[in-house]
Amino acid sequence: MNNESDFSIRFANIHDVPAILRFIQELAEYEKLAHEVVATETRLKETLFGDHPAAEVILALEQQEPVGFALFFLNYSTFLAQPGIFLEDLFIQPTHRGKGYGEALLRYLAALAVERKCGRVEWSVLNWNQPAISFYRKMGAFPMDEWTTFRVSGEALAKLAGSITTDQP
Share of the chain above pLDDT 70, in %: 97
Helix (H) or strand (E) holding 74: strand 65-77
Question: What is the DSSP secondary structure assignment for residue 99, as one 8-state letter?
Answer: S
* Whole-number pLDDT of residue 149: 87
End-to-end CA distance of the chain: 46
Contact criterion met (CB below 8 Å) for 59 and 93: no
Strands 121-123 and 82-92: parallel
Whether residue 80 lies inside any domain: the answer is yes
Residue 136 CB partners (closer than 8 Å, separation 6+) = 123, 125
How open is the CA angle 48-50-52, to the nearest 5 degrees?
85
Contact criterion met (CB below 8 Å) for 115 and 100: no
Full residue range of the structural domain in which residue 123 is found = 4-142
- The pTM assigned to this predicted structure is 0.90
User: How many domains is the chain partitioned into structurally?
Assistant: 1
Residue 124 CB partners (closer than 8 Å, separation 6+) = 149
- pLDDT values of the chain reduced to their tens digit, one per residue, 169 residues: 555 679 999 999 999 999 999 999 999 999 999 999 999 999 999 999 999 999 999 999 999 999 999 999 999 999 999 999 999 999 999 999 999 999 999 999 999 999 999 999 999 999 999 999 998 999 899 999 999 889 898 899 999 999 888 887 7
Whether residue 153 lies inside any domain: the answer is no
Catalytic residues: 136
Give the CATH number of the domain where residue 119 resides.
Answer: 3.40.630.30
Distance CA 34, CA 24 (A): 9
Whether residue 148 lies inside any domain: the answer is no
Contact criterion met (CB below 8 Å) for 56 and 72: yes
Distance CA 8, CA 105 (A): 10
Whether residue 167 lies inside any domain: the answer is no
Whether residue 122 lies inside any domain: the answer is yes
Distance CA 28, CA 26 (A): 5
Segment 55-98, tens digit of pLDDT: 999 999 999 999 999 999 999 999 999 999 999 999 999 999 99
